[in-house]
Amino acid sequence: MEVILLERVAKLGQMGEVVKVRDGFARNFLLKRKKALRATAENRAKYDGMKAELEANNLQAKSEASKAAEKIEGLEIVIIRQASESGQLFGSVSVRDIVLALEAEKIHVSRPQVWLDAPIKAIGQRKVTIAVHPEVEANINVIVARSADEVQRIKRGEDISTRQEDQDAAAEALAAAGEFFDPEAQHDEIEQPAAPAEEAPAEK
């Protein structure tokens, strides 16, 4: 289906462009959310008549979105989840979880505004883009951890993906290796065998 875009749509086109998309995407998203019109002769004329108003409204919305983006840019949100010792979550963190976390910070966005390629399935931190406006984006930092203490460790850049037992074993091995190669370490001297005593000359 060919549609006329009424606003910029990421990875699709700018306002006023006529683009060809799948019928389902057009009906269920673009037309339903009033982001586009079917590219009929009647709608082309309709768009020409509303173009000036659309551009003025878009300019105002873009200005307001830019101010909101300044507040969101670099924002850090924390999501506490249970996970295995290796760091794999028992479940995942989805777009919905991020939306709820932002609402807790009194920032209201819709799910389509949160660009997350796939659910987060491991502890750590991830940069996530928020489309505040079709032409304005902001990046937030999402930290997923098992506890507040782990959040601080992630912020410090520590690797917490390995099991604690493995970390302890590695530390012990390193300490043992350091002691083995310590040049000042005391080592027992090997006793050299005594030289055989010289035989006394025989008496004449």
Report residue 190's pLDDT band, with 50, 70 and 90 as the boundaries: very low
Q: Count up the domains in the chain and report the number.
A: 2
CATH code of the domain covering residue 101: 3.10.430.100
Alpha carbons 37 and 50: distance in angstroms, whole number: 12
Tell me: the pLDDT tens digits for 73-88? Answer: 999 999 999 999 889 9
Q: By the 8 A CB rule, do 97 and 111 touch?
A: no
* pLDDT greater than 80 at residue 168: no
Clarify whether residues 39 and 10 are in a common domain. Answer: yes
Tell me: the pLDDT tens digits for 85-129? Answer: 889 999 999 999 999 999 998 888 989 899 998 999 999 999 999
Note down the domain range covering 85: 76-164
Clarify whether residues 86 and 159 are in a common domain. Answer: yes
Clarify whether residues 95 and 154 are in a common domain. Answer: yes
Q: What is the pTM of this model?
A: 0.65
Q: In angstroms, how far is the first alpha carbon of the chain from the final one? A: 130
Clarify whether residues 52 and 107 are in a common domain. Answer: no
Q: What is the mean pLDDT of the chain?
A: 83
Clarify whether residues 92 and 15 are in a common domain. Answer: no
